[in-house]
Amino acid sequence: MTRVTVVEIEGCLASGAAITHDVMATANQISKKARRTLAFDVTTVRLGPRRKRERLRGADLVIVPGLGLGVASADELDAKLKSPACRRACDMLIQSFEAGAVLAAACASTFLLAETGLLDGRRATTTWWLAPLFQRRYPRVELVTDRIVVPDWPIATGGAAMAQMDLMLAIVGKFAGPKLASACANYLLLDERRSQVPFMAINYLASQDPKIARAEKWVRENIARDFAIEELAEAVALAPRTFARRIAATCGVSPIQFIQRIRLETARTLLETTRLSVEQISRQVGYAEPSTLRRLIRRDTKRSPGHFRPAA
């Protein structure tokens, strides 16, 4: 049986905490019905503004659900990470890791792990809309933005809020075996997801930098034609190298990926809202060959273009 401590920091994402407990409870229920040893022994530690002397004694695994919705900006996140509760959580994570515990966190709680320094030199992911900030703040961490879960054991990280489901299935698979993880997924009707890319809103990221916001607008206005990166950079009065650095800092992608994301978002909207053929949509979003659009959609979503057509 794996001894688990769930660290819930005041204001944490309620759904993330609930998912954490529900998946482990489901794993235990399935194990019990199969007359096997329960998979998890779960303890919850709640941290608020008042100082307490909690110690995570004997934990094999420590899980930190998302910090909550009140971290929408860099300043709000910085203030949260400097709070007494988060500072105590960092100390607890370091002590637990040094004692041999495995650590796991998703969404903005990945910043908490990074604050400890334990992610330095490791691969990790975080919520896609905070990824550029994460890269600037923790350059020693190898950030894999597109992944929903990065299990770089003995530390695992997850992406945006509902990635807590995917992180928990990875944890069940690690500690109780893939069969039990699959059974939990079936019981809870959870689909396997590997990438955050289909959920990334490039316009939200671009809006954080006026120049990149202008670039997004220009791409949408010229989406049907072929153009070079240099032309796009010139349109927003930036040198190509400067433009590439600004794109990476703001959106966490290269200029080519930036353009592709806009083309694919537009194509998906047309698939969902019109009866245009894939060939027609390809031309409207700047791809001369429909096969190119089909390939990119399959790569990013693991679905065919037909999947996005409305049901008849």
Domains 2-197 and 201-308 share a fold: no
pLDDT of residue 189: 79
CA-based torsion, 225, 299, 265, 242: positive or negative: negative
Q: What was the pLDDT predicted at 192? A: 66
Instruction: State the pTM of this model.
Output: 0.74
- Provide mean pLDDT across the span 260-268: 91
CATH superfamily of the 201-308 domain: Homeodomain-like (1.10.10.60)
Q: Find the Cα–Cα–Cα–Cα dihedral 269, 270, 271, 276, rounded to 10°.
A: 180
- How confident is the model over 148-173, as a mean pLDDT? 91
Which has the closest alpha carbon to 63: 155, 173, 197, 198? 155
Give the DSSP H or E segment for 217.
helix 210-221
pLDDT of residue 124: 96
**Model confidence at 51: pLDDT above 80:** no
Answer whether residue 140 shows pLDDT above 90.
Answer: yes
Torsion sign (Cα): 135, 141, 146, 148: negative
Nearest to 132 by CA among 241, 19, 252: 252
pLDDT of residue 198: 61
Q: Which of 67-71, 72-76, 80-84, 97-101 bottoms out in mean pLDDT, i.e. has the lowest?
A: 67-71
CATH number of 2-197: 3.40.50.880
Separation between Cα atoms, residue 21 and residue 11, nearest integer Å: 17
Q: Distance between CA atoms of 271 and 231, rounded to whole angstroms? A: 28
Maximum distance among all Cα pairs of the chain, rounded to whole angstroms: 68
Q: Give pLDDT, residue 238.
A: 96
Distance CA 188, CA 162 (A): 14
- Higher-scoring residue by pLDDT: 204, 252: 252
pLDDT at residue number 178: 87
d(CA 15, CA 115): 23
Gap between the Cα atoms of 213 and 235, Å rounded = 12
Q: pLDDT for 200-238, tens place per residue?
A: 678 767 877 899 999 999 999 999 999 999 999 999 999
- pLDDT value of residue 203: 78
Domain ranges for the chain, please list them. Answer: 2-197, 201-308
Question: How large is the angle between the packed helices 163-176 and 178-187, nearest 10 degrees?
Answer: 140
CA distance 224 to 234: 19
Residue 52: pLDDT band (50, 70, 90) is: low
Alpha carbon distance 110, 4 (integer Å): 18
Angle at 97 between CA 95 and CA 102, to 5 degrees: 140
312 band by pLDDT with thresholds 50, 70 and 90: low
CA distance 82 to 147: 27
pLDDT at 250 over 70: yes
Q: How confident is the model at residue 142 (pLDDT cuts 50, 70, 90)?
A: very high
Q: What are 84-128's pLDDT values in tens digits?
A: 999 999 999 999 999 999 999 999 999 999 999 999 999 999 988
Q: Are 299 and 261 in contact (CB under 8 A)?
A: no
* Joined tokens for residue 134: 């994460």
